[in-house]
Structure formats: structure tokens, C-alpha cells
Amino acid sequence: MKSKKSIIQSAVSTLELEAAAILNVAKNINSDFEKVVSSILHGKGRVIVTGIGKSAIIAQKMVATFNSTGTPAIFMHAADAIHGDLGMIQLDDIVICLSKSGNTPEIKVLTPLLKTSGNLLIGMVGELNSFLAEQADLILNTSFEKEACPHNLAPTTSTTAQLALGDALAICLLECRDFNESDFAKYHPGGALGKKLYLKARDLALSNEKPSIHPSASVKDVLIEISKNRLGAVVVVDNDDRVLGIITDGDIRRMLENNNSIANLKAEDIMGRKPKSIQFDALAVDALDIIKQNNITQLLVLEQNTYFGIIHLHDLLNEGIV
């Protein structure tokens, strides 16, 4: 059993080896990388990413990243390719083949078939003297010193290099396409990530009550209005629905602490006169920023200068945005 110190040293050593491999990949970026980016950008087909073993797993991650950032891509397992899946490749598709050694039997069988079909073949390979490197039209160099595995066997450093270079390729394509947050939201409509990119303040406000009261209302009326909703607040408005202030549960407590008699108090006497607000078409995630920055739980939503609704911190929690 390793000591605590040796366990930590092993972890640090692994990370240092993998970090060095990524830096080495960065040094090997050359004109072939630029040509790969240009070919994909101007290509009429899809990107087919293939590999075997651990490289196949990295290939699947690359495909997922490509698809989510505007580059249509399909994963093809190298072993399945030579048993029928080659049929998924169309004339204008570009093929990226991942391999640590570039000499595995499946790669040696697959590569000539890809060359025969006339598709552009890109080899992401760690051995530049390999069969794949010799056959590929363009090379993405993932050469490395050694695996983090103490036996230099388990793919660790090699797959980290592939993963990092795949990310670099995806980000370059994203930037060249001017792929922005709105584009990203179209491909990520589900979950908290999608909601941060498309959910609006109005969407949350519409699901809530719209508590309001006039400035001359009595404290009793204020309490009744607050208790009718789950928001813990009521908005004070004028006859044109313009916001004059807000009364929260906290304002009620402070009123009781500071006044021996509340019989003659009105809403305007206890309201906060500068409530924080956001426009109804702003993103919900921006509403969260305002709530956090001001340490509040309610935020008014306005349509131009008029009262549209109210957002509670719980609304953001329920949507998974926090």
C-alpha cells in the first residue's frame, strides 16, 4: 500500500506528464493544422471522426464538441467501419482518424479504403513514421514522450494530447464561424446551460403573481397583498403602473421594530424607494447577477418604465440556473 505522500506524488507526476504532453502538442501546431481548419470550413460535407480503443472514446468526445459548436460531425468506430459502417461516409465528407501508434491492424485495413473513396484523410497520430501518418493527406501531430502509466502502456498521456488537440480544432472552427452565444443556445436548449442562454426575465415573471398596491394603501392591505403570494413582497405603483417602490417581508419587520403604532402608516411610508429592476427581455442569468450583487431575493421586471412582474431567487433555483 502506497503512503499518503507517494499517492500525492503519483497524482502530481501524472498531471505534470500530461500537461507537458499538451504543451508539446501546442509546439507542433503547423500549417497542416491550418489546412485542416480551412478544409473543414470550406467543405460541403460532414466531419467523420474514427478510431479504435481509447482513441475511439476521444473521437466520440470530439464529435460531441464539433456538433455543439456548429461543425456537423459523425462518429464511426474503426472496427465497425470495415464491417459495413463505411457506408455512412459520403463523397464530400472529411475523415479524421485518431490513433496513438498509427499501426493498429484496423487502421491498416481502414486507411486504404478511405483513400480509395477519395475523401480527405486527416491523421491525428502520435507516431509520425507510422502507416497512418504516411497515408494521411494532412497530419495533426500528437506525439508525446511517454504515457503517465508507470508501465508506459495504458493510454493516458496520448489520449490527453488527442483530447486537447481536438478541443483546439473545435474552438478554431467556432471562432472562424463567428459562432456566438445565440448559436450556442440553439444547440443547447436543455438543462441549465441552455436556460442560461435563452431563458428571459419575462419567462420567470409570467409564472408568478404580480403583487401590487397603491402608495396610500394601509399596512393591513399591504400585509394581505404580501400574504396572497409566495414572493414575500408587494410592489408599490401609481395609476399608470409605474413603480414607486417595493415592500418586502424585511420592510415589515423593520416597520414593527421602529414604530410603536402603525395605525396611520401607509404603503409609501414603509416602502423601499429604489428597488432593483431588470428589463423584461433581459436574460434570466443577468437577473441572477443583479440578485447576487445586491444580496436580495426579489427583483422587479419592467417593460420600459412600467411594472411587468417580479422574480424571486427561488425561481432561478428551480430552473437550475444558480
Extract the annotated binding site for Zn(2+).
Answer: 77
* Of the candidates 62, 64, 147, the residue with the CA atom closest to the CA atom of residue 98: 62
Give the list of residues 6+ apart from residue 69 with CB closer than 8 angstroms, or none: 170, 171, 173, 174, 179, 184, 187
Half-sphere exposure of 58 (CA within 13 A, CB side): 26
List the grid coordinates of 164.
486537447
Rounded (5°) CA angle 66-161-156: 115
**CA proximity to 269, closest of 218, 212, 210, 232:** 218
Cα distances (angstroms) measured from residue 151 to each of 19, 147, 148, 156: 19, 8, 8, 11
Strands 243-248 and 277-279: unpaired
b/e code 292-320 from CB counts within 10 Å (16+ = b): eeeebbbbbbbeeeebbbbbbbebbeebe
Identify which of 28, 33, 281 has the alpha carbon closest to the alpha carbon of residue 161: 28
79: Cα within 13 Å, side-chain hemisphere: 6
Q: Which residues are annotated as a binding site?
A: 77
| Cα(273)–Cα(284) distance, integer angstroms | 23
